[in-house]
Structure 1
Amino acid sequence: MKIEALDYYAKKFQRLRVDRAHGVAPHKPILLLSVIEHIQRRIITKNQIYLESKLIQTFLKYWSYLGSLNHRPDISRPFFHMRSGKFWHFWANSSYEHLISSGVKLKTFAEVNRAIRYAYLDEDLFEFLCQPDIRGSLTAVLISRWFPGQYALIEEISQTDRFREPPAYLPEDFSEFYRPQ
């Protein structure tokens, strides 16, 4: 096992750059939990993370339990800004390669969806997340840093498709993805 690489990603999960203007914005940690669940459930089997309905629904599910009332549950911004962590990368749609590499910030779901075909992780990180024991360790690091004391709740959330309540300030772009149970 590549201990140095595992330690590197554990630190990256602990040091995610999040918006703190109105309290800690949990978008990136929730997006990572969503991706991890999709890898665990084998919805994601290749290192390609598409901004599609299943991922959006999973993100909104976690948000309904763990999200902040001070922030909007918009997946497009963390999907785009996760690249600041240096382990999340993009495969651009045709004719958008220059835009993605230029440093322009994409702000809306439509912009992100138009420019990015899919995101992908560093190969080492993806391989780690495909291994149950290592995935569990990295998930524990993520939870202990961003959602302390919530491990049992997050384990429960990962085993269900149920939403708790409609996420506060649900952007209109995402209302079609919210499915209360």
Structure 2
Amino acid sequence: MPHDEHKKTLRDIETLSYYAKKFQRLRVDRAHGIAPHKPILLLSVIELIGKGAIKENKIYLSDELIKTFLKYWSYLGSESHNPDISRPFFHMRSGKFWHLWANPGYEKIIASKMKLKTFAEVKRAIKYAHLDEDLFEFLQEPLTRASLLVVLVSRWFPGRHEQIEQIYFQSSEF
């Protein structure tokens, strides 16, 4: 393997490891038990990228994303939490790999770190979220997507990989 290609491979492994750690260390609300919103949002995004529904690095708070989130929530969600997608959609930015693109006129609100609390506020202020480019590329590749999925499931839903695989292959329609 040529030296430059070897360096790129090592860099890719280090970068993949970086995102694996980010997935393991998601900051979640623990006030009433672990709130699984962020891991479920990531599962939903990974599924939609894997199925080709998200083709470019723009994650809209679309009906399809909401349905997919609610599908996972129905199996993995917590009874002591509401299945509100808008909060993890907004707060995932604390992980430093999820970035928000403001709708025109809302740039200062997004930049100010002001908390958006309702679905309507999030929908009004945020045009879409996007991932670090490296992470988006990893999630487009079946092998690295599967690796990151295993990390996410092992950390947040241990012992439920087979169930999550079954959920993944279900339609998002109820």
SS at match of 1:91: strand
| Structure of larger gyration radius | 2
Aligned position for 1:154? 164
Stretches of structure 1 lacking an aligned partner (at least 5 in a row): 163-178
Structure 1 residue 3, shift from structure 2 partner: 1.0
Specify which structure has the higher proportion of helix: 2
| Residue of structure 2 aligned with 1:118, choices 97, 111, 128 | 128
Aligned length: 164
1 CA distance for matches of 2:39 and 2:71?
A: 13
Q: Please tell me the residue identity of whatever aligns with 1:44.
A: I
Aligned position for 1:86? 96
How does the TM-score come out when normalised to structure 2? 0.93
1 CA distance for matches of 2:80 and 2:159?
A: 21
| Residue of structure 2 aligned with 1:109, choices 83, 101, 119 | 119
2 CA distance for matches of 1:156 and 1:63?
A: 14
SS at match of 2:130: strand
Structure 1 residue 15, shift from structure 2 partner: 0.2
Aligned position for 1:31? 41
Q: Please tell me the residue identity of whatever aligns with 2:45.
A: V
Structure 1 residue 96, shift from structure 2 partner: 0.5
Structure 1 residue 80, shift from structure 2 partner: 0.2
1 CA distance for matches of 2:144 and 2:161?
A: 16
| Residue of structure 1 aligned with 2:50, choices 40, 47, 53 | 40
CA deviations 1:37-56 (Å, max 9, x no partner) are: 00000000000000010000
Structure 1 residue 105, shift from structure 2 partner: 0.3
SS at match of 1:118: strand
Structure 1 residue 61, shift from structure 2 partner: 0.2
Q: Please tell me the residue identity of whatever aligns with 1:116.
A: I
Stretches of structure 2 lacking an aligned partner (at least 5 in a row): 1-8
Q: Please tell me the residue identity of whatever aligns with 2:134.
A: D
CA deviations 1:70-125 (Å, max 9, x no partner) are: 10000000000000000000111001111100010001000000000000000000
2 CA distance for matches of 1:57 and 1:121?
A: 20
Q: Does residue 144 in structure 1 map to residue 154 in structure 2?
A: yes
Q: Please tell me the residue identity of whatever aligns with 2:40.
A: I
Q: Please tell me the residue identity of whatever aligns with 2:120.
A: A
2 CA distance for matches of 1:19 and 1:103?
A: 18
Name segments (4+ residues, structure 1) moved above 2 Å. Answer: none
